[in-house]
């Protein structure tokens, strides 16, 4: 795959990232992690690395920490991988009943939680430094000065190289950035042909203005743009038909077109793909070779909107 610069960092990352949320094979309680799940997860990471991905996205909550654990086991088996990878993770979410029974599900950007989360991720991944740390979902009690304190301490200690956010509205990103002496490099948000908010709410404009890389989670709308699942409404049927027509025109498949549509944007959107099928992990990289024309891009946008652009 071709590579691009991540934000304003020195990292050159593949234009598709591999998202590790599913490598635990459905295990979402750390107490349920078993050796078969670990072996299967390692095979998925191996398939992604062999397919050419060098950018791997985690969060400490994925699999209730088990996905980071599996990835760490993979790195132990392949110690030469570390210098060839950019490893990202996220923090800031508590599940219900954590750490105490009766505690609500919540977000937490407190200094203590950020520091504690990073220490845990480093231990599970078995690495000395996280390449990119992201705040996962906006904390209603976020204190930018407290975030800045944690980020600065982590950077100075060599535990995190670069920082970003996830699911942030532009105003909150600006507010947090003002408190920081270091640049936020990414904003990971949901972007796909079924979710167009980022094109109109200022998110992508902000990324262009400040050299922030948009990371697109669920770039295939949880796989529905690839499979056609739940295509009951007329607008979705028309979108799928437009994707198929374009795929025929470009000699490729519907999935590659949907991903290439994101890759066309000048902000440098990086789709995060998270298949748990080894062949599929390889096939997804075909999108990197599809160069849509501006006319085709707008045809797909019109199909996704269900109406002409205003």
> How remote is the C-alpha of 15 from its chain's centroid?
12
Residues sharing a CB contact under 8 Å with residue 26, sequence separation 6 or more, in sequence order: none
Active site residue 62: yes
User: How many C-beta atoms surround the C-beta of residue 122 within 10 A?
Assistant: 18
Residues sharing a CB contact under 8 Å with residue 82, sequence separation 6 or more, in sequence order: 75, 127
Which residue, among 154, 106, 94, 164, has the nearest Cα to 128 in the 3D structure? 154
Which residue, among 240, 109, 239, has the nearest Cα to 172 in the 3D structure? 109
Residue 288 sits at φ, ψ, to 5 deg, of: -65, -20
- In whole angstroms, give the CA distance from residue 110 to residue 144: 10
- In whole angstroms, give the CA distance from residue 115 to residue 159: 10
- Retrieve residue 234's tokens: 């007329």
Residues sharing a CB contact under 8 Å with residue 223, sequence separation 6 or more, in sequence order: 229
Which residue, among 65, 72, 70, 4, has the nearest Cα to 41 in the 3D structure? 70
Task: Please classify residue 22 by burial: count the beta carbons closer than 10 Å to its beta carbon, then call 0-12 exposed, 13-18 middle and 19+ buried.
Answer: middle
Catalytic residue among 18, 53, 62, 107: 62
Catalytic machinery residues: 62
């Amino acid at each position: 795959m071709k590579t691009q610069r991540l934000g304003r960092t020195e990292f050159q990352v593949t234009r598709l990232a591999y998202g590790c949320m599913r490598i635990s094979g459905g295990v979402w309680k750390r107490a349920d992690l078993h050796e078969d799940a670990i072996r299967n997860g390692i095979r998925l990471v191996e398939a992604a690395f062999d397919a050419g991905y060098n950018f791997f996205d985690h969060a400490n909550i994925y699999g209730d920490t088990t996905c980071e654990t599996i990835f760490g086991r993979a790195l132990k088996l392949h110690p030469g991988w570390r210098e060839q990878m950019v490893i990202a993770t996220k923090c800031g979410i508590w599940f219900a009943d954590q750490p105490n029974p009766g505690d609500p599900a919540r977000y937490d950007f407190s200094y203590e939680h950020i520091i504690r989360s990073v220490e845990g991720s480093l231990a599970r991944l078995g690495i000395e430094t996280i390449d990119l740390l992201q705040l996962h979902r906006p904390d209603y009690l976020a204190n930018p000065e407290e975030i800045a304190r944690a980020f600065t301490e982590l950077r100075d200690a060599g535990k995190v190289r670069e920082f970003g956010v996830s699911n942030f509205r532009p105003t909150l990103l600006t507010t947090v950035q003002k408190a920081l002496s270091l640049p936020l490099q990414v904003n990971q948000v949901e972007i796909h042909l079924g979710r167009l908010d980022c094109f109109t709410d200022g998110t992508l404009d902000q990324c262009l203005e400040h050299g922030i890389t948009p990371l697109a989670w669920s770039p295939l709308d949880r796989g529905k743009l690839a499979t056609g699942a739940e295509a009951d409404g007329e607008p979705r049927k028309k979108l799928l038909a437009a994707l198929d027509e374009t795929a025929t025109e470009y000699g490729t498949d519907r999935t590659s077109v949907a991903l290439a549509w994101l890759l066309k944007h000048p902000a440098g959107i990086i789709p995060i793909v998270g298949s748990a099928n080894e062949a599929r992990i390889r096939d997804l990289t075909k999108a990197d070779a599809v160069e849509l024309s501006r006319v085709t891009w707008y045809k797909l946008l019109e199909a996704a909107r269900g109406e002409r652009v205003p």
